[in-house]
Structure 1
Amino acid sequence: MSEQRLIIEMGMGNDLHGMDYTKAAKRAIEDAFRHSSLPIFGVVEMPHEMMRVQVTVAVQEPDLLDLAALRATLPRGRAEVTAVHGGLNVPSGDETIVIAQASVEAFLPKQSGWSLKD
């Protein structure tokens, strides 16, 4: 079944102390969520399970991400999380600040035969 992308949002998160890539990535995903709302589900009475959520997270050490923990932060839909190289490691004295970037995309099966309610 083909899909249509309904939304794409970007977010940024960081971990100032501890070099925890997963913590920074969770914050980036949460930041992206704060920029979006999907009222379409209530308007067309569609279950959230119809939505596929694709999250791409970029950090300097993608192999250190806990993808299952990141997937667990996604409140709705069928979640997929992919890690890629990106983000930043910023030296700060004797510590390193970790900056993560996230793209959150929501997809629905192609829709036809309905219109928005009044």
Structure 2
Amino acid sequence: MEAEQSTTSSGGSSPLINLLFVEMGVGYDQHGQDITAAAMRACRDAISSNSIPAFRRGSIPGVTSEQMKLQIKLGVPHSLQQSLDIERVKSVFPYGKIVKFEVVDGGLICSSGVYVEEMGDKNDDCYIVNAAVYVGY
């Protein structure tokens, strides 16, 4: 992997942030067998249906948007973790300081049911990644 991987296996978030909420998502790469693409989709899925006006409007006394902190936890099939480009995954987040990025065994490799060479397929594998994004300050 291109960045540090945490070995923490706890189910919750650490006290690195004052936790406000958790966003969850799932990402797939059905063609091309790119685990980073699946992870980026999982993170986009987690954050795409939310708006966080509290940081911009001063709803939390003494906290500004510059103080938003994120902890990212990805469930990735063990055999693919070394192929994950964490810096590309981090680029999905438009703001907030990532204070922890953790990759754990999870996700899934399954058959997509079809091999399409024109779409970059090496085989018919589909990669699935789960994401939890912890948001706080």
TM-score above 0.5: yes
- Which of 88-97 and 61-70 deviates more? 88-97
Answer whether contact 2:73 2:103 (CA < 8 A) is retained. Answer: yes
- Which of 14-23 and 36-45 deviates more? 36-45
Indicate the residue corresponding to 1:96 in structure 2.
125
Q: Name the CA shift for 1:84/1:7 in 2 (closer, same or farther; >3 Å).
A: same
Deviations 1:83-109 (A, max 9, x none): 11100000235410001100011121x
Indicate the residue corresponding to 2:65 in structure 1.
48
Indicate the residue corresponding to 2:102 in structure 1.
82
Structure number having the greater strand percentage: 1
Q: Name the CA shift for 1:49/1:20 in 2 (closer, same or farther; >3 Å).
A: same
Number of aligned residue pairs: 108
Indicate the residue corresponding to 1:65 in structure 2.
84
1:28 to partner: Cα distance = 0.4
- Which of 10-19 and 71-80 deviates more? 71-80
Unmatched 5+ stretches in structure 2: 1-14, 115-122
Answer whether contact 2:74 2:103 (CA < 8 A) is retained. Answer: yes
User: What TM-score, normalized to structure 1?
Assistant: 0.81
Answer whether contact 2:17 2:69 (CA < 8 A) is retained. Answer: no
SS state at 2:21 partner: strand
Answer whether contact 1:55 1:81 (CA < 8 A) is retained. Answer: yes
Query: Equivalents in 2 of 1:105, 1:35: separation in Å?
Result: 15
Query: Equivalents in 2 of 1:13, 1:3: separation in Å?
Result: 25
Seq. identity, %:
31
Q: Which consecutive segments of 4 or more residues in structure 1 shift more than 6 A?
A: none
